[in-house]
Structure 1
Amino acid sequence: MGSDYPPSLRCGLPGLILSLETAFILIFWFCFSNESGSTPKDLDIYPAFQDVNVLVILGFGFLLAFLKRYGFSSTGFNLLIAALGVQWAVLVEGFLFSSSAGKMKISLHSILKASISVTAVLISAGALLGKANPIQLIWMAMVEVAAFVTSRWINVKFLKVEEHTSLMHVPIFGTYFGLAVSWWLYHSSLSEKVEKEKSNPISDLFSMLGALFVWMFWPSFNSVLIVDLMERRNAICNTYYAIAVSAVAAFALSSLSSRNGKIRMTYLNSVLKIHDTCGVHYMFGLPGLLGAIVNVILFIIIKRANLSGLGYLALIEVGSFMLTTAIGLGTGFITGFILTFKLWKTLPASKYFDDQAYWEFPHLAYRL
């Protein structure tokens, strides 16, 4: 019978973080140049960059803070994997997408693309919330970022999908990668919610605050990489219309699905043996798939006047998001299997959803 005490991360976590940072610094020093990092054109995107940064750090950090005993870990680990993931994403993006000779250039634009890419990891972390320790999350982030950027590279280089479109597959990839990992971390004790997995009014309020941040800045997230001004304007407006309608419909469906007609923070429970703590399948996965399908339909309608080659182009659009989904599921399945090994110092199920497994609480030190 295993111990109910969480394993110590005193050596493993600092060693992993310091090793990664040392490797990142050396790679940046020898392989990258910052010569074009402060041009006026680059700085023009800083307001939009800040919008994306607020969504990634504040939005997702608070969105995942709904568990009443896991708020520190939700926000803290979100910052940890986002900060490490962005650095790694810049490196992978540079090696795969940069074709210029000599040192690769780093700019605000490359950091912006990396921030969007790392959103996939934050979505996946929602499915694993409370069940994975920081070491597992960091390794998952390294694998997932590399896999997502590789899937984008395949889409852009071979299927000739626009780079902006390939980045908008991030909710699909993050969801199904996370669900595949979560399948391996499923425990029979999770079939019914335990006390520590529940929320309270304060934690729900923080989670709602995160949802509002995501809601406010999602139009910037969807449009920031579009070059054409008219297309960017359309993307902003269409995204706003879509999320506005979705928000109103959510209130209606929540009231309709409740026996007493009251509005609830959650609904639509999973029926598979996949413990999706944050419900990312309904929050990001299904909307992402629906958006991809609608994009194909609209593409056909818009291009119907030019029938020559329309079927091939539509097939490319369908193949793009299906390839993204397949790579997400496949790499997530392999990653989840690897994360079940004992070397990751996996938490016992009795310590799931509990900040005290990782954080010091001085006011509890003398409690009997």
Structure 2
Amino acid sequence: MAPQYAPSLRSRLAPLLLFLQTGFIVIYAFCTEIESNVKVDAITFRSFYSEFQDVNVMVILGFGFLCTFLVRYGFSSAGFNLLVAVVATQWAVILNGIESWYYRGKIRINLRSLVVAEMCAASALISIGAVLGKTNPVHLILIALLEVSGFILNEWLLKTLLSAQSLNSIMLLHIFGAFFGLMLTWMLYRKGSEQQFEKEKSDRKTGLFSMLGIVFLWMFWPSFNSILVDSHAPGKKLGAVLSTYLALAVSAVTAAGVSVLSSPKGKLNPIHMQSCIFAGGVAVGVSMSAIHQPWEAMTIGFTAALVSTIGFRYLKIHMLLAFECHDTCAVLSTHGLPGLLGWLAHLFLQIKDCDDHTTAIRFAVFHICTLLITITLSLSMGILTGLLLKWNFWRMPQNKKCFDDQAFWEFPNLAVRK
């Protein structure tokens, strides 16, 4: 007989979703317009649309299937990923267009603004990975709204205070999302998490679906890193694609080698492969504007995979035992550490290319301030979000109902007749 669950979603999730979607429709009706004044060449549109679809596949299929490794949480991982992504994207389009609305009276929407919004949504999906299986969909929607708001605020601060380029600030989504999620899982820590939850496990079938998500992410990551590069400079765009691919290739090989070395039986660990083979893509995305040679991208990919795999092998359990951070998807090792490595590589490569010591020192100061602002804001927003979610009104799932689809989904074959 299937276990009984309280129908708590009816009074919370449905009103929240309907209220948000109604509000979005009203805002889009009065404050937005499709940018049609600019004459866009058909070839350019088709080219950008294909890249937009690549990013769309990464956000929906890649992140969705990536988190299906939990044996009884596959429906929730994929379904809630889609729900959070579309809500966060709609919200990000509005927030990113506030400046346009202030000066022009309308928020202009085009493919580029939609891509930027999806990247902001990706930062929220990274954060949600840290609390995967331990929250309900109401929590996830609130996390997405607050995390996207914090990330866009961070981008605005970097642009206003430090005159940071839009591409560089957006690519900090890995660092922002990882530390936001880490602080969130620390705030929502459950006693007894040192002992693995009853349903916090995987099997061969769910591992295969998760590997499918990794394949999608790995294949389309070059588009993710290069889509916002200036299209009027084809050389830079090509360089971003090549650097990303080389870093991904190197990180895949390195992750496999380190996984074998760290295994007591000398075998490949599928969890290592699923979490660390795209570490090079993360690191190169953060340092992309400073990479000019193939060997630089390959070295970054090698180091990123090394740091990510070792961090996943040893850091996850120490974060749980020492700091009470139960990071379900190990977002710190998967996104946080490679993101920090990419930031450090960007600093070193940029200083190496500077001929003037004064310019180098000035860049270093601004670069360090960029990281400090990003981490400070992500930690602060993570704490505030955690405090909000700890309110009993949202009904945090009980320990025995964590990592279980039946708490939120209706399965006719398991329904109990009354």
TM-score, structure 1 normalization: 0.95
Tell me which amino acid in the other structure corresponds to 2:34: N
Name the residue aligned to 1:164: 167
User: Which residues of 2 match residues 49-68 of structure 1 at below 5 A?
Assistant: 49-68=52-71
**Structure 1, residues 274-330: CA drift from partner, whole Å, max 9, x if none?**
011111111111000111111111111112x13332211221122112211211111
Q: Mind listing any 5+ residue stretches in structure 1 that lack a counterpart?
A: none
Whole-Å separation in 1 of the counterparts to 2:102 and 2:397: 43
TM-score, structure 2 normalization: 0.84
Whole-Å separation in 2 of the counterparts to 1:295 and 1:232: 17
Whole-Å separation in 2 of the counterparts to 1:121 and 1:39: 34
Deviation at 1:224, TM superposition (A): 0.6
- Aligned partner (choices 253, 258, 274) of residue 258 of structure 2: 253
Moved more, 79-88 or 213-222: 213-222
Q: Report the CA distance shift for 1:37/1:354 in structure 2 as closer, same or farther (over 3 A).
A: farther
1:351 partnered with 2:356: no
Whole-Å separation in 1 of the counterparts to 2:188 and 2:228: 35
1:70 partnered with 2:73: yes
Assess if the C-alpha contact under 8 Å between 1:36 and 1:106 holds in 2: no
Deviation at 1:7, TM superposition (A): 5.3
User: Which residues of 2 match residues 25-104 of structure 1 at below 5 A?
Assistant: 25-36=25-36, 39-41=39-41, 43=45, 44-96=47-99, 100-104=103-107
Assess if the C-alpha contact under 8 Å between 1:129 and 1:278 holds in 2: yes
4+ residue segments displaced more than 6 Å: none
Name the residue aligned to 1:241: 246
Q: Equivalent pairs: percent with the same residue? A: 44
Q: How many residues align?
A: 364
Name the residue aligned to 1:279: 330
Q: Mind listing any 5+ residue stretches in structure 2 that lack a counterpart?
A: 272-311
Name the residue aligned to 2:295: none
Secondary structure at the aligned position of 2:150 is classed as: helix
Q: Report the CA distance shift for 1:349/1:358 in structure 2 as closer, same or farther (over 3 A).
A: same
**Structure 1, residues 111-138: CA drift from partner, whole Å, max 9, x if none?**
1100011101100111111011000110
Deviation at 1:5, TM superposition (A): 4.3
Moved more, 131-140 or 223-232: 223-232
Deviation at 1:366, TM superposition (A): 4.4
Whole-Å separation in 2 of the counterparts to 1:18 and 1:30: 19
Q: Report the CA distance shift for 1:333/1:6 in structure 2 as closer, same or farther (over 3 A).
A: farther
- Aligned partner (choices 258, 263, 268) of residue 263 of structure 1: 268
Name the residue aligned to 2:384: 334
- Aligned partner (choices 150, 153, 159) of residue 153 of structure 2: 150
Name the residue aligned to 2:15: 15
**Structure 1, residues 40-89: CA drift from partner, whole Å, max 9, x if none?**
35724111100100000000000000000000000000000000000000
Deviation at 1:104, TM superposition (A): 2.2
Deviation at 1:27, TM superposition (A): 1.1
Deviation at 1:99, TM superposition (A): 5.8
Tell me which amino acid in the other structure corresponds to 2:163: K
1:317 partnered with 2:322: no
Q: Report the CA distance shift for 1:57/1:294 in structure 2 as closer, same or farther (over 3 A).
A: same
Name the residue aligned to 1:296: 347
Whole-Å separation in 2 of the counterparts to 1:335 and 1:251: 36
Q: Report the CA distance shift for 1:177/1:96 in structure 2 as closer, same or farther (over 3 A).
A: farther
- Aligned partner (choices 171, 174, 179) of residue 176 of structure 1: 179
Whole-Å separation in 2 of the counterparts to 1:237 and 1:100: 38
Whole-Å separation in 1 of the counterparts to 2:100 and 2:69: 38
Aligned Cα root-mean-square deviation (Å): 1.8
Whole-Å separation in 2 of the counterparts to 1:39 and 1:278: 44
Structure number with the bigger relative contact order (C-alpha 8 A, sep ≥ 6) is: 1
Moved more, 157-166 or 53-62: 157-166
Assess if the C-alpha contact under 8 Å between 1:293 and 1:318 holds in 2: no
1:219 partnered with 2:222: yes
Assess if the C-alpha contact under 8 Å between 2:131 and 2:328 holds in 1: yes
Name the residue aligned to 1:118: 121
Name the residue aligned to 1:197: 200
Moved more, 117-126 or 180-189: 180-189
Whole-Å separation in 2 of the counterparts to 1:319 and 1:98: 29
Q: Report the CA distance shift for 1:211/1:69 in structure 2 as closer, same or farther (over 3 A).
A: same
